[in-house]
Amino acid sequence: MNIRINQLGYTPSMRKTAVLQGRPADTLQVVDGSGEIVMTVPISPDSAQIWGDDVYSADFSALTQPGFYVLRCGDIASWPFSIEERPYASCLTALVDMLYYQRCGEDLRPELGGFAHPACHTGPARVYGTQELVEVTGGWHDAGDFGRYIVPAAKTIADLMLAWQWNKDAFVPGLTRLPEEMRYELEWMLKMQRADGGVYHKVTCALFCDMVMPHEETAELILCPVSTTATGDFAACMAMASRFYAGIDAAFAARMKEAAVRAWNFLDRTGPMLFKNPEGIRTGEYDDVTDEDERLFAHIELALATGEEKYADAALRALETIDRSAAPLGWADVRGYAAIEGLALTGKAGSLCREWLLGVADSLLARINAYGITMTESLPWGSNMDVSNDGMILAQAYALTGDMRYRIAAEQQLHYILGVNAVGYCFVTGFGSKRVLHPHHRASVVNGTPQPGMLSGGPASGLMDPAAQEHLQGAPAGKSFIDDHGSYSTNEICIYWNSPLIALIAALS
């Protein structure tokens, strides 16, 4: 029997639901800091059978008085939690500061709470299959590995720009470093573009290195071939960023707009070039089966950045034909960014996107399970990204309509990540009561202690690494998680897993 709650707490006005694995009594007590019972609420009589448990719920939304509490049911207690105005503020700051520690190519200082180290990967990279050397220093390491890949970089940047956009009015302190931090990545992305507009898919060593610090990975850096997925994502992000930075640094914004147009022109004259790891390269593939969604995203962003009709026409044509039954915010499938950003288009394109987004939000609502998330049967590698992504779509639907069902569901995605899940972890390192201590993150492994502010990938039902295969045989989907640094398919960390959580918290703040 366990009582699952958001371990970072709740704001006074939030819907608050405890999820119980078992039901030893029919009521739940709310106990305050002095040990006094301040409220008794009923536990649902009916259970949902999910992931090996009979799961019940208890609504304690009536608790609105700021303070510290625990929930009690029979002899069982929850972790202590708070009711306060800004329960996620320090977590948000740490999630953004994580990106600083992913920086490649400069000395890192310890002040923001992570691991300092000298500049890494400072040499030139060789273009695969040639002797040509290119200077592509900078940017963020992708994850627990030190590769730098355009496709996931684009997802990260798009999320962060949405986070900023969604928070323009509320102004949350954790986000203030974003323009500076994003620029570090954008400057690197600009270096990854060839003169003809095409964008290299990635720069990594040939193989993943051992568990060493970044500056200790000294094998040759290789630039992998141009792909149209990378080029489409690049065009979209540069156009989006050119609007974002227009009022901050006009010259930088103009450079990005020019790069976006050059990438779009490359796409316009080029058929699909879908990436596969070439012979000898075994780092992250970030492969794809279509570049249609990346092209659509690029059309929309160029239309918004330039106001030119040819892009708006291309966007409308692509919108009319693309499958609008889902709106993923993935690294491979970027349709969701098109749906969200397309809301700003005028006329038919804008209304198609509104219909699209709300249709998807309704289908998410219809799938929500006893833990508040939409995935039940199988959870993919990086499922906490998918949970956060769903939260972003739901938050956007709430912003469009003011319908509280969307907002409550968006909040549930956050509660799941921060403790209301089958394994009871708060999945952000350094936060919560039951913490992730052994992420697949090389600097944490080397230092023997986890760097704070990193979102673990979370349960993945496919058992796709040796540690998962050893420890998780027969585990239900939602419990296919192990806090072991060997389990890269359940417990790695990643820039594009932090970024949708940043966007979700920003949207809810």
Residues making contact with ligand 9MR (CB under 6 A): 143-145, 208, 488, 492
Using the minimum distance from each CB to ligand 9MR, give the nearer residue, 335 or 485.
Answer: 485
Residue 264 burial class via C-beta count within 10 angstroms: exposed 0-12, middle 13-18, buried 19 and up:
buried
C-beta of residue 69 within 8 angstroms of C-beta of residue 84? no
C-beta of residue 420 within 8 angstroms of C-beta of residue 462? no
Q: Does 217 bind ligand G3I (CB under 6 A)?
A: no
Q: Which of residues 112-131 bind Zn ion (CB under 5 A)?
A: 120-121
Using the minimum distance from each CB to Zn ion, give the nearer residue, 121 or 441.
Answer: 121
Q: Does 4 bind Zn ion (CB under 5 A)?
A: no
Q: Where are any strands of DSSP class E within 387-446?
A: none
Using the minimum distance from each CB to ligand G3I, give the nearer residue, 74 or 462.
Answer: 462
Using the minimum distance from each CB to ligand 9MR, give the nearer residue, 233 or 492.
Answer: 492
Q: CA 248 to CA 74: how far, in whole Å? A: 57
Closest CA to 160 of 128, 185, 137: 185
Altogether, the residues listed in the chain come to a count of: 509
Active-site residue, 483 included: yes
Q: Does 380 bind ligand G3I (CB under 6 A)?
A: yes
Q: CA 213 to CA 116: how far, in whole Å? A: 10
Q: Which of 3-11, 209-217, 279-287, 420-428 is the region at the interface with Zn ion (rule: CB under 5 A)?
A: 209-217
Q: CA 352 to CA 130: how far, in whole Å? A: 46
For CA atoms 473, 476, 482, 487, the dihedral sign is positive
Q: Does 214 bind Zn ion (CB under 5 A)?
A: yes
Minimum CB distance to ligand 9MR, residue 145 (Å):
3
Closest CA to 198 of 241, 227, 223, 239: 227
Contact pick of 468, 494, 507, 508 for ligand G3I (by CB under 6 A): 494
Residue 214: which of Zn ion, ligand G3I, ligand 9MR, none does it interact with, CB under 5 to 8 A by kind? Zn ion
Closest residue to bound Zn ion by CB:
104
Q: CA 17 to CA 415: how far, in whole Å? A: 9
- Token duo for residue 293: 């969604």
Q: What residues does 193 pair with on adjacent strands?
A: 199
- The site that binds Zn ion (CB under 5 A) totals a number of residues, namely 4
Q: Does 136 bind Zn ion (CB under 5 A)?
A: no
- Token duo for residue 369: 């399970």
Using the minimum distance from each CB to Zn ion, give the nearer residue, 104 or 237.
Answer: 104
Q: CA 196 to CA 177: how far, in whole Å? A: 33
Using the minimum distance from each CB to ligand 9MR, give the nearer residue, 41 or 437.
Answer: 437
Q: Which of 29-37, 38-46, 219-227, 376-384 is the region at the interface with ligand G3I (rule: CB under 6 A)?
A: 376-384
Q: Does 381 bind ligand G3I (CB under 6 A)?
A: yes
Q: Which of residues 87-146 bind ligand G3I (CB under 6 A)?
A: 142-143, 145
By CB under 6 A, name the binding residues for ligand G3I.
142-143, 145, 147, 284-285, 332, 380-382, 462, 464, 488, 492, 494
By CB under 5 A, name the binding residues for Zn ion.
104, 120-121, 214
